[in-house]
Chains A and B, each alone.
Chain A
Amino acid sequence: MLHDLIASIPFDQIMIQTVNGIVTGMILALVASGLTLIFGIMDVVNFAHGELFMLGAYLGVVVLATTGSFWLALIIATLVVAIIGAALQIVTLRPLLGRDPLTTILATFGISLVLQNYALWQFGPVARKIQEPLTGHFKLFYLEYPYYRLVIAALSAAIIGGFWLFLKYGTYGIWIRATTQDRVMAQAMGIPVPWVHTAAFAIGAGMAAASGVLFGPLVGVNHAMGLDWVLKAFIVVVVGGMGNLGGSIAASIFISLLEAYASIWVSPAQAVIVSFVVLILTLLFRPTGLFVPTPK
């Protein structure tokens, strides 16, 4: 009986899904850390985050088509979306500073509608494809596993690591942390708080764009891809604890692994429900996040 049960567990599939889960988890962590940075510093829940991700992927497609270099596409898309993000922040969010944080949800929701329909108008409803920059494979059980996926995971980790070092040791990183902790005090110390907000939004937008370009080769790029990601990133940010960078990274990998395992048995569309259930359970039992102690 027990023997049959053990034999029925598909170990090879589980191994493959573990690798897959870690790869998507790292991209999700990159998206979610931008979201949690923006939330932590200015209490803005950025509904347009998924659209910045999508815009980054599309810019990647465009730059790749003109220059032919994937890495150039990655850098240019990141920078351009960061500038767009800064412009959006100045135009729409800066006037809302000091108002009810809920109004910022409405404003970013409006931005997401405009960006999504702009992409539909500009690029059409047919999904675009980004060529993988590396085409090598290695053997993982019965699969030819592409190296590129591992490169994505490593690059995402490198970007997040660099971001963490910047927050920890860079002068401007310290400005960002100071503003997160106490906006008024930071202002009194001579930190230009409105510009720190703009910069944080731009960094978050750039990170979303970078993950969009990195993720582009795995599935097609289309105008509606943003919502899936922003939903997952919301789940991750709530499960990991809002404004908690380490928590969101752990939660990203945790949830992506769960979804990857679930999709061995059910279709990927239904596997999403697993992460929803994790969210509900977290809200019920650890409302401040899975990876931080619940304050008494």
Chain B
Amino acid sequence: MINRFNSAFWICFSIILVLLAIAPFFLPPFWQRFLTEILIWGLLAMSSDILIGYTGMISFGHSAFFGLGMYGAAAALLTVSPPNLWLAVIYGLIGAGAVALFVAYFSTRLRDIYFAITTLIFSQIFYVIIFTWTEVTGGENGLTFSRPRLSIPWLYSAPFTAETLHWFVLAVVTASYLLLRRITQSPFGMVLQSIRENEARTRAIGYPVERYKIVAVMLSGLFAGLAGVLYAIQNRFAAPDFVYFLTSGETVIFNVMGGIGTLVGPIVGAGFFLLLREMFSRFFTEYYLIPVGIIFIAMVIFMPQGLLGFLRRWLNR
């Protein structure tokens, strides 16, 4: 039974992966870019699913990790010449990881609502710092830089095209997905899920709950930072808007829309949200959040398991 489920999963996984990989050949440039963007936001949403879905902690501060990944990449691309892709990734991860360690140390002392508020306030601290420290971060205008070349050390080096950028993002997101999936199925992931189900009992069994939570927040922050690096490379700028609370809020929306605790769900949610945004901004221009917000509230009330959970239940009926 388990084997059959497993092989079905891998078949589905391969089909979707192949479809995503060959998509650039069929899609017009606008939708091609759109798809790449969905993957990047999907990675951000997936990283926060580690906390929301698996550990039961809602983070409203993922914009800090995402933003620091962006600014870390910017630092590498602006200070080191010629700009190096892998250095950008490393700097971004260091930036996001440092922030994640700081946030995790303080916020994991709190539970539930207090955790959500604390992460929100931490992300606002970083927003204020980035926004006001104009000499280093460019303040309100942010930083612009050129895109590095796609390079594999000693093997290959070429400028990014729209297609190779898409494949690069796809590769990173797929690798992250597989890694996160493995982590959630590992003993470590099981402990996280038991914290979600019953924290007191997990502690009584003898697991150092706080340490597990800190590692979970850091892990989540690192992947969010990775998404920030990808976004910086795609758009060639870093701006304080992305550290603002709205990005964190959207991350939570992706999760709830797609279905928490599924890893794939948040990516679906990100795609759904961006499609809704695209659709509604045709009619409502910049006020698209009015209808999207109403849909979101309705989904919280009527479809708490998200699109994917809803689909799963509907298939199992």
A187 contacts B by Cβ under 8 Å: no
Among B122, B252, B289: residue with most chain A CB under 10 A: B289
A102 contacts B by Cβ under 8 Å: yes
Q: Which of A57-65, A167-175, A277-285 contacts B (4 or more CB under 8 A)?
A: A277-285
Q: Which residues of A contact B (CB under 8 A)?
A: 43, 45, 92, 95-96, 99, 101-103, 105-107, 109-111, 113-114, 116-118, 120-121, 227, 231, 234-235, 238, 242, 267, 269-270, 272-273, 276, 279-280, 283-284, 287
Residue contact B128 to A269, C-beta cutoff 8 Å: yes
Residue contact A283 to B118, C-beta cutoff 8 Å: yes
The secondary structure that dominates the A interface is helix
Residue contact B297 to A110, C-beta cutoff 8 Å: yes
Residue contact A102 to B113, C-beta cutoff 8 Å: yes
Residue contact B125 to A114, C-beta cutoff 8 Å: no
The secondary structure that dominates the B interface is helix
Contacts A117-B289, A270-B132 hold; do A106 and B124 have CB atoms under 8 A apart?
Answer: no
Q: Which residues of B contact A (CB under 8 A)?
A: 58, 106, 109-110, 112-114, 116-118, 120-122, 124-125, 128-129, 131-132, 245, 249, 252-253, 256, 284, 286-290, 292-294, 296-297, 300-301, 304
7 other A-B residue contacts (CB within 8 Å) besides A99-B304, A107-B300: A103-B304, A105-B116, A106-B296, A113-B289, A231-B124, A280-B106, A287-B109
Among A105, A113, A231, A287: residue with most chain B CB under 10 A: A113
Specify the chain A residue showing the minimal Cβ separation from B102: A280
A283 to B105, CA, bound (A): 11
Q: Measured between C-beta atoms, what is the minimum distance from B130 to chain A in Å?
A: 11
- Report, nearest first, the 9 A-B pairs whose CB atoms are least far apart: A114-B293, A110-B297, A113-B293, A117-B289, A110-B296, A121-B287, A106-B300, A117-B290, A45-B113
Residue contact A234 to B117, C-beta cutoff 8 Å: yes
Among B129, B286, B296: residue with most chain A CB under 10 A: B296
Contacts A101-B113, A287-B109 hold; do A110 and B300 have CB atoms under 8 A apart?
Answer: yes
Among A109, A111, A238, A242: residue with most chain B CB under 10 A: A109
Contacts A113-B296, A114-B293 hold; do A238 and B287 have CB atoms under 8 A apart?
Answer: no
A269 to B139, CA, bound (A): 12
Contacts A105-B116, A269-B128 hold; do A92 and B297 have CB atoms under 8 A apart?
Answer: yes
A117 to B106, CA, bound (A): 33
Contacts A92-B301, A118-B290, A121-B287 hold; do A109 and B117 have CB atoms under 8 A apart?
Answer: no
